[in-house]
Structure 1
Amino acid sequence: MSVQATEQPWTTPAPTATAAPGSPRDLAFGAPTARLLLPVDATEEEWHAARRGGIGGSDVAAILGLDKYRGPRHVFEAKHGRPLPADAALSEYAEIGQEIEQFVSYLFTKRSGIPAVETPGTLVNIDREWMRANVDRYALDPESGEVVAPVELKNRSEYQIGDWEDGVPDGPALQAHWYMAVGGWQYAWVAALVGGNKLRYHRIERDDELIETLIDTCGRWFQRHVVDGYPPPADGLESTKELLGRLWETKAGEIVEVPRDKAAKLRKRRASLIEQIKALETERNAVENEMRLMTEAAEVAKVGKSVAWSWKQNGTFAAKRFAEEQPDIAAEYTTTVEVLDVDRLKAERPKTYEQYRARVLRVPAKEL
């Protein structure tokens, strides 16, 4: 049976004519302060090389420590051609986001009335070669057809809906400002499909003071860590901790000599922080226990019409206590499930087992 392709409303139509250079329809001329560095049909190798040669919109939040999944060290490794493969779940999330980008663009145009068209490729600022941008879409003036702003498209999960109701979260907002910095636009649009069924879009006005700060900060970072090649210092991001655990292939039994003064200073600081955390945990528990005493058997504590706090029985199920106190019922609801035989894997394939073990940082209590 033959299958006939069906064109969807959000499918980009094939071009009917070539626009004259410099005309409003020539989208390569849509950025006042940028030129086309790489066309959209460039090879993947060329695209990665262009990304390594400058700072793009997705790098900005990571450099500033405001990206949940990437930090400065991630950007450093990628710029030097050593990116680690993304987590499978994140890769799938990014893949789906890319696949539905056209649909999000279509919804944005349908709801806003603003035409959004595909861009010519990678842009570079005409004054600063290291400032790059891969804009998702160009927003056109409905009457003249001229490019007036960049459009950033996002795919977000349902639990993030609150972040998009009254504005744009920090990461995408910084990305939009970076595009304005590269291309010279006075405003930008950010549209997000949240939970697969809610479109939220906001217009962001150009903030020259913020843009100057971004250019200065990212420019200094690019010079020191990409051009000069110095690795960025350690930071407190969880994503950096995960990255460092995968960055090197561990050499069993190998020892590295570190300066005594530096090691002693780090150990002392770590011990002090652990004590502070313990003290704060104890203090927090005391405050929360006072709340529990005030709540007694109730589930919700209110001040007038406002909820002060709740203490509901909706936490983790105590499976061990349940099995001990209700063995007959527990037996009735006990099933056999397939589990990975890690001990057998360790015994039969030790190299494979070691490859997937996490690296654990342990600090002896004994003084140096």
Structure 2
Amino acid sequence: MTTTLITPTGLLTLPADAPRPEWLAARRRGIGGSDALAVLGLSPYSSRYQVWAEKSGLLREQDDSEVMAWGRKLEPVIAEEFEARTGIPTHACGLMRHVERDWQLASVDRLTADGGVLEIKTTSAYRASDWDDEQLADAAEAQLQHYLAVTGLEHGYAAALIGGQRLEIRHVERNDRLINVLVNAEAELWQMVIDGTAPALDGSEATARTLAELYPHAAERQVEVDADTVARLRASLGWAEEIKTLKKQRDAVKNEATGLMGDANVATFNGVPVATWKNTGDFDAEAFTAAHPEIAAEFTVTVEQLDTAALKAAHPDLYAAHRGRRFLPSKKGLMA
């Protein structure tokens, strides 16, 4: 594969206009910026185990969601607005890899004329708080530092379009301490991919989804587990009750705080904000419909959905074959 050094440590391996299937195949041959937060075990959407399974070729290639497709369509628009607001020209560059760590990849959205990288994000209004008060979303921070690690550049920018109507721009300096942590964690995981050794399973939803995809159908057989697993399953029965108690305690504290706040949207201690209570939660469709029935009727749509009850009655075997697997500890067996 022809490569060209286009940044201090970044080799171009695929041009920006490479066919998408070719880009997806190349992406599996290393760890990219979108994997960085998950490799650290900090992503709410992915996990180290999921990244390992993807790079090991164990999971099917996911089709783009509508959110992802719109993100790509809006990328040049956001880049143009970034240029207009900052006066810094940008250009697309394609897929890079580190000159020495050939498994470390960077699909940088843009390189900037002032010697940096630009990461472009489109995010929901529900995630707006990630960018409040000059903050930078964790995923964007990890992704940018990963790109700086690959390219050898000293700074970058994040441009995030929030809710389709608000653009936030952040400047980020290279953080060699964080880069060192990232490189070590990524190198460790990539070695696991090479060795075929799975990382430890965690309790994330992403790991649960990965396991469900790897083992979608339950075979009529038994597997013997060790004493340590049984001990942990027994302990988990007690944890479930403790979790319920802790949730009640947490909710009581939250209610006490909101009761003190009343109609205020920020609580402070010694003048420093310690909590917020703002109108940024779920939309109350029922209350809105009751208050504004005519407007609600105007925006009410009919949604087609599969009648699963009828399907189950007519085709029980097909229905059973497409049910997800559910894990349940056996209280009777564990307490025997």
Query: How does the TM-score come out when normalised to structure 1?
Result: 0.74
**Structure 2 vs 1, CA of residues 111 and 291 (structure 1 numbering), >3 Å: closer, same or farther?**
closer
- Between Structure 1 and Structure 2, how many residues are aligned? 312
| Structure 2 match to 1:247 | 214
CA distance in 2 between counterparts of 1:80 and 1:288 reads 43
Q: By how many angstroms is 1:266 displaced?
A: 1.9
Alignment of 1:266-285 (within 5 A): 266-284=232-250
| Structure 2 match to 1:193 | 161
Amino acid at match of 1:196: G
Amino acid at match of 1:76: W
| Structure 2 match to 1:24 | none
| Structure 2 match to 1:115 | 89
SS of alignment partner, residue 202 of structure 1: strand
Q: By how many angstroms is 1:236 displaced?
A: 2.0
Amino acid at match of 1:105: A
CA distance in 2 between counterparts of 1:39 and 1:291 reads 54
SS of alignment partner, residue 100 of structure 1: helix
Amino acid at match of 1:364: S
Q: Does 1:182 align with 2:150?
A: yes
SS of alignment partner, residue 134 of structure 1: strand
| Structure 2 match to 1:217 | 185
Q: By how many angstroms is 1:347 displaced?
A: 2.6
Q: By how many angstroms is 1:204 displaced?
A: 0.3
* 1:316-342 deviations in Å (ceiling 9; x for gaps): 8999xxxxxxxxxxxxxxxx9976432
Q: By how many angstroms is 1:93 displaced?
A: 0.5
| Structure 2 match to 1:158 | 125
8 Å contact from structure 1 (residues 55, 222) kept in 2: yes
Amino acid at match of 1:226: V
**Structure 2 vs 1, CA of residues 251 and 360 (structure 1 numbering), >3 Å: closer, same or farther?**
closer
| Structure 1 match to 2:311 | 345
**Structure 2 vs 1, CA of residues 338 and 156 (structure 1 numbering), >3 Å: closer, same or farther?**
closer
Larger Rg computed on CA atoms: 1
8 Å contact from structure 2 (residues 41, 48) kept in 1: yes
| Structure 2 match to 1:38 | 14
SS of alignment partner, residue 179 of structure 1: helix
8 Å contact from structure 1 (residues 185, 206) kept in 2: yes
CA distance in 2 between counterparts of 1:54 and 1:291 reads 47
Amino acid at match of 2:71: G
CA distance in 2 between counterparts of 1:289 and 1:48 reads 47
Q: By how many angstroms is 1:202 displaced?
A: 0.9
Q: CA RMSD in A?
A: 3.5
| Structure 2 match to 1:19 | none
8 Å contact from structure 2 (residues 148, 174) kept in 1: yes
8 Å contact from structure 2 (residues 58, 214) kept in 1: no
Question: 1:93 pairs with 53, 57, 67, which one?
Answer: 67
8 Å contact from structure 1 (residues 84, 247) kept in 2: no
Q: By how many angstroms is 1:174 displaced?
A: 0.7
SS of alignment partner, residue 68 of structure 1: coil
Amino acid at match of 1:203: H
8 Å contact from structure 1 (residues 188, 203) kept in 2: yes
Q: By how many angstroms is 1:219 displaced?
A: 0.8
SS of alignment partner, residue 37 of structure 1: strand
In structure 2, the gaps of 5 or more residues are 288-301
Q: Does 1:128 align with 2:101?
A: yes
Amino acid at match of 2:105: R
8 Å contact from structure 1 (residues 300, 309) kept in 2: no
Q: By how many angstroms is 1:131 displaced?
A: 1.2
**Structure 2 vs 1, CA of residues 317 and 363 (structure 1 numbering), >3 Å: closer, same or farther?**
farther
* 1:155-180 deviations in Å (ceiling 9; x for gaps): 01112222223131111111000111
**Structure 2 vs 1, CA of residues 348 and 191 (structure 1 numbering), >3 Å: closer, same or farther?**
same
Q: By how many angstroms is 1:255 displaced?
A: 2.4
Higher relative contact order (CA 8 A, sep 6+): 2
SS of alignment partner, residue 164 of structure 2: coil
| Structure 2 match to 1:230 | 197
8 Å contact from structure 1 (residues 301, 307) kept in 2: no
Query: How does the TM-score come out when normalised to structure 2?
Result: 0.80
CA distance in 1 between counterparts of 2:130 and 2:315 reads 46
Q: Does 1:149 align with 2:122?
A: no
* 1:115-151 deviations in Å (ceiling 9; x for gaps): 01111x211111111111111111013xxxxxx1111
In structure 1, the gaps of 5 or more residues are 1-27, 142-147, 320-335
Question: 1:54 pairs with 30, 49, 58, which one?
Answer: 30
**Structure 2 vs 1, CA of residues 347 and 31 (structure 1 numbering), >3 Å: closer, same or farther?**
same
Question: 2:229 pairs with 260, 263, 284, which one?
Answer: 263
CA distance in 2 between counterparts of 1:114 and 1:246 reads 44
Alignment of 1:11-22 (within 5 A): none
Alignment of 1:267-306 (within 5 A): 267-284=233-250, 287=253, 300=263
* 1:38-92 deviations in Å (ceiling 9; x for gaps): 2334444432332222111111111112222211122112111233454x8x711
Q: By how many angstroms is 1:207 displaced?
A: 0.9
CA distance in 1 between counterparts of 2:274 and 2:235 reads 39
CA distance in 2 between counterparts of 1:49 and 1:283 reads 48
